[in-house]
Structure 1
């Protein structure tokens, strides 16, 4: 039996319960791909899994990873391809990305062409999936529609801004720091406003008669 190294939840608790272990190396089935993990992101959900606060969890956590295709029995991805894999049960009802290798359904894998280092690339898959789901699954955002993104300089805010601008939406973005106004405009926001508790007051004059 082939083995690999993984970071395993040995019991529920704080970060100290994460232990290095030698475990069985997974074997991919049809419509799965085995990824050699180069880096993985850390997500707040994994904190709750580690503490035993979610119904779904796996001893090998990790909802996302980036790496190289090691094997793909059904041929959807070529061996050696650079990819990102996200969720599809990984880290919840199947072992996740906190190991040297992970099996991911091919429907949850994306090929990548980038020169970003692995450790930076690993921070992107889950945040973009979350932003995409909010914009297009929940809101069904369309071209020329108007969108307000609050806290747009956060990681998920920037991902949402990129995706919204890409689809042709008209975005107003907010931030607490005036120094970041130009950044958000450069990213494609048509308007930028200060983030504050009474944000609606900044819009009170819109549509008012002169």
Structure 2
């Protein structure tokens, strides 16, 4: 088969699309004929190299994909050949104290398909049965591939970890990205007043289309100062910040007393100043969140499949042009998700 792969960490030049051994499903795995995959910033970090993660090379990246079941392992009970499926990338042990309590995304052995182990950006992929969800017949492959990782991440961040309720106010940073544009929609669905930042007027228009009540161009404005002005110096109840060092100090400044920052990542760096004086004086909370539990995945994807939420796709590329897809993420081009399709499936 053909697959996206790299044999060394580095810049976009290490990405190749070429022959790779066909996967063989284990007893608990499903062989999927991949129709579409989607990129996340995680793919960029994996390509560059993440501290403490030693990958088997060559490595096939990709945490998001959707396709048709070709074959199932002998222990698989939920799927059969011909089923339409999408990948939910979080792998958990099912045995530790957190898994026993139903908090699978806090599993001590938690890892992510495409980050810690071989990913799914190839013509075929062998995926554990527990990491697949059913895709209804009316859902397009690009939508099915683009939705799972970012919508489950944003859903858990806002509604479980952040405990967002109707009538509260929430600021979503980087609203044009995958998690950001999902968070805007989920916050709007929850009945919150939604503030969103992005780097261009075009991106802000898209953010408004999917649910933002107020938009801020962070290239032209100090978003913390703008939030204070828009809220009458009160601040917002929650900030969704997956950007990290570059935005964290202003995220803290944007909060009302008793507010909370919820984070699932640190694109610009993991070590900002803590801002402890502001945290204790204003009684703020900083909350971490990673992926989601299976029930949360089912809940949010049901709302994607029925059209309540819309994964916006900024561009679709053949997998042979994955380097260009990475460039779009790194250069912050466009709004929403970037999708890659096996060259054999690509139709211009």
Q: What TM-score range do you get, normalising by the shorter chain? A: 0.7 to 0.9
**Where do 5+ consecutive residues of structure 1 fail to align?**
none
Call closer, same or farther: CA 1:180–1:102 in 2, change over 3 Å: closer
State whether structure 2 residue 69 is matched by structure 1 residue 69: yes
State whether structure 2 residue 27 is matched by structure 1 residue 14: no
Pick from 166, 180, 185: which aligns with 1:162? 185
- Report the CA distance between 1:175 and its aligned residue: 4.6
Tell me what 1:55 maps to: 52
Kindly provide the CA deviation profile for residues 132-190 of structure 1, in whole angstroms up to 9, marking residues without a partner as x. 23213431334554433344444433211222333x3323233566777776566445x
- Report the CA distance between 1:62 and its aligned residue: 1.0
Matched-pair contact (CA < 8 Å) for 1:40–1:97 = yes
CA distance in 1, matches of 2:13, 2:203: 37
Call closer, same or farther: CA 1:104–1:137 in 2, change over 3 Å: farther
Matched-pair contact (CA < 8 Å) for 1:37–1:68 = yes
Task: Give the match's secondary structure for 1:23.
Answer: coil
Tell me what 1:107 maps to: 130
Matched-pair contact (CA < 8 Å) for 2:195–2:215 = yes
Tell me what 1:80 maps to: 82
CA distance in 1, matches of 2:62, 2:88: 9
**Where do 5+ consecutive residues of structure 2 fail to align?**
91-111, 235-348
Call closer, same or farther: CA 1:165–1:108 in 2, change over 3 Å: farther
Call closer, same or farther: CA 1:172–1:83 in 2, change over 3 Å: same
Matched-pair contact (CA < 8 Å) for 1:26–1:101 = no
State whether structure 2 residue 172 is matched by structure 1 residue 174: no
Task: Give the match's secondary structure for 1:65.
Answer: strand
Matched-pair contact (CA < 8 Å) for 1:48–1:54 = no
CA distance in 1, matches of 2:129, 2:191: 30
State the aligned residue count.
201
Task: Give the match's secondary structure for 1:60.
Answer: coil
Worse-matched range after superposition: 7-16 or 114-123: 114-123
Matched-pair contact (CA < 8 Å) for 1:181–1:192 = no
Task: Give the match's secondary structure for 1:53.
Answer: coil
CA distance in 2, matches of 1:10, 1:159: 32
Pick from 20, 23, 42: which aligns with 1:45? 42
Worse-matched range after superposition: 112-121 or 174-183: 174-183
CA distance in 2, matches of 1:93, 1:180: 32
Call closer, same or farther: CA 1:142–1:28 in 2, change over 3 Å: farther
State whether structure 2 residue 148 is matched by structure 1 residue 125: yes
CA distance in 2, matches of 1:151, 1:47: 17
Tell me what 1:194 maps to: 216
Matched-pair contact (CA < 8 Å) for 1:40–1:119 = yes
Tell me what 1:97 maps to: 120
Matched-pair contact (CA < 8 Å) for 2:154–2:182 = yes
Q: TM-score, normalization: structure 1?
A: 0.76
Call closer, same or farther: CA 1:70–1:55 in 2, change over 3 Å: farther
- Report the CA distance between 1:50 and its aligned residue: 1.8
Kindly provide the CA deviation profile for residues 62-110 of structure 1, in whole angstroms up to 9, marking residues without a partner as x. 1111111223342212322222103233213332112222222333322
Task: Give the match's secondary structure for 2:130.
Answer: helix
